Structures are given as C-alpha cells and as structure tokens.
C-alpha cells in the first residue's frame, strides 16, 4: 500500500512541479519583455533581467494555488486515462486513501506558500522595487509616479525609493502653515539616517514668504527626526 501511496504522490507532485515550471517560465518571459519598455537611464537590459529575477519569489507565491490545482487535475487525469486509478481501486485501495495521497503534495505546496509569502517574497519584492526605482533615477525626479507618501504634522513627504538598508532616494517635502498655505518646498537626492536625524544630500529648498520666494542649495543638510531640513 505504501508503494501505491508513493506512486500517486509522485505523479501528482510531478504534475504540480511541471505546471509551476511552465507557468513561471511564460510569466518571466512576458515580464521581461514588459520591463524592456521601461529601459532608460541606468535601467538597461541586464538591470531589467535582474529585477525580474528578484520578483521571482512573489511570482511563485502568486502561482502556487494554480500549480496545486492544475497539478492535481493533470496528475490524476493522466492516471485515470491510463486506467491506473481503476487498477488501484480494484486492488482494494479506498477512494479516501487515493484522495489523501493526492492531497499530500498539495499540503507541501501550502506550507511552501506560507513560508515564501511570509519570509521570502516581501523582502525580495522590496529589494526589487527599490533597485528599479534607483536605477531609473529616483534621486533625480521630484515626486515620481512611484514611491510612498508620508505625513508628519504639517509636512508632507514623498519618497521615490526606500532601499532595504534604510537609505532614501528622491525626498520631496512640502511644508504648510496652519492655514494650509504652502510655505516651503524642498527636494533632496538622498537621505541617510544618522541615529537621531537624517542627513540630506544635494538638497534644494524653496521658501515662500508672501509675494517673494527664496532658494537655498546645500550639498549636505541636517534634518531632525521628522526629516525636516534645518538649513
């Protein structure tokens, strides 16, 4: 009986693996072709290829349910087409045991999905997105289409890219008064955390004072905890 269990598991598990390989291969090819449309600045073909590789854990996590479902259908369907299931049932193996044998590879897929989705895919996806944003020139663009917004009191900040090591790229800050009037706007190419403040690099600040404006440029600029420049 154990040989029959292993045989069913091997067929179903092999079908699941085959489905995952085929689906992921097609998805990676189309994703790479799509990334070629974004090639500019320092983001070229090899960079696009590396970005697609970094997103592989997330793609595996997305397609695991499909792989498990289609693998079960293909594996059991192949065995049924060759009359193997009929022979197994004629040998006295119950239907419940056949179903349980087919479910074991699916349970392994579920466990792998939980581990990938919890510990592998999120950091890999963050690395991929920050890598692409930096290569596209995140430190040169003011409030790019990608990135995140953050608010600290009356200061609104947009970060084009956040690297896993905590380095920020393309920091746009807009400060408003209590009447919601814009009083200052600044842009910094990069920010590095120094323990109790941020060190802004290549910072430009424009202040609005009534009908006049003033502009200040700084190679480095200290910022306090809320990332507000004090230059």
What is the per-residue pLDDT across 178-202, written as a single tens digit (0 to 9) for each?
Answer: 888 999 998 888 898 887 778 888 8
Task: Give this prediction's pTM.
Answer: 0.77
Query: 73-112, pLDDT tens digit by residue?
Result: 999 999 999 999 989 988 888 889 999 999 999 999 999 9
**Do residues 99 and 198 both lie within one domain?**
no
**Do residues 161 and 124 both lie within one domain?**
no
Distance (Å) of CA 33 to CA 27, 29, 36: 10, 6, 5
Domain membership of residue 91 as a residue range = 2-135
**Do residues 109 and 158 both lie within one domain?**
no
pLDDT under 50 in the chain at which residues? 224-231
Q: Which residues contact 177 (CB under 8 A, 6 or more apart)?
A: 154, 183
CA distance 111 to 115: 6
- The pLDDT assigned to 1 comes to 65
Q: How many domains does the chain have?
A: 2
CA distance 101 to 79: 13
Q: Which of 90, 112, 135 is the last residue of a domain?
A: 135
**Do residues 167 and 112 both lie within one domain?**
no
Q: Which of 135, 165, 184 is the last residue of a domain?
A: 135
Asked whether residue 40 is assigned to any structural domain, the reply reads yes
Q: Which of 100, 135, 170 is the last residue of a domain?
A: 135
Strand arrangement, sheet containing 155-162:
148-152, 155-162, 168-176, 182-193, 198-209, 212-223
């Amino acid at each position: 009986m154990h040989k029959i269990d292993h045989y069913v598991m091997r067929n179903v598990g092999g079908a699941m693996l085959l489905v995952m390989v085929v689906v992921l291969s097609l998805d990676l090819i189309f994703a790479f072709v799509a990334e070629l449309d974004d090639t500019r600045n320092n983001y070229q073909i090899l960079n696009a290829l590396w970005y697609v590789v970094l997103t592989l854990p997330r793609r595996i996590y997305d397609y695991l349910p499909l792989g498990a479902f289609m693998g079960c259908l293909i594996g059991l369907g192949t065995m049924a087409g060759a009359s193997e299931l009929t022979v197994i049932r004629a040998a006295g193996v119950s239907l419940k045991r056949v179903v349980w044998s087919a479910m074991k590879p699916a349970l392994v897929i579920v466990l792998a999905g939980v581990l990938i989705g919890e510990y592998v895919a999120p950091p890999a996806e963050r690395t991929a997105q920050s890598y692409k944003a930096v290569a596209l020139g995140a430190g040169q663009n003011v409030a790019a289409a990608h990135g995140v917004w953050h608010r600290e009191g009356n200061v609104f900040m947009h970060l084009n890219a956040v690297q896993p090591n905590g380095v920020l790229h393309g920091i746009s800050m807009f400060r408003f008064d209590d009447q919601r009037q814009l009083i200052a706007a600044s842009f910094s190419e990069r920010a590095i955390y120094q323990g109790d403040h941020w060190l802004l690099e290549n910072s430009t600040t424009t202040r609005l004072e009534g009908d006049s404006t003033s502009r200040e440029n700084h190679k480095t600029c200290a910022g306090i905890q809320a990332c507000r420049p004090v230059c």
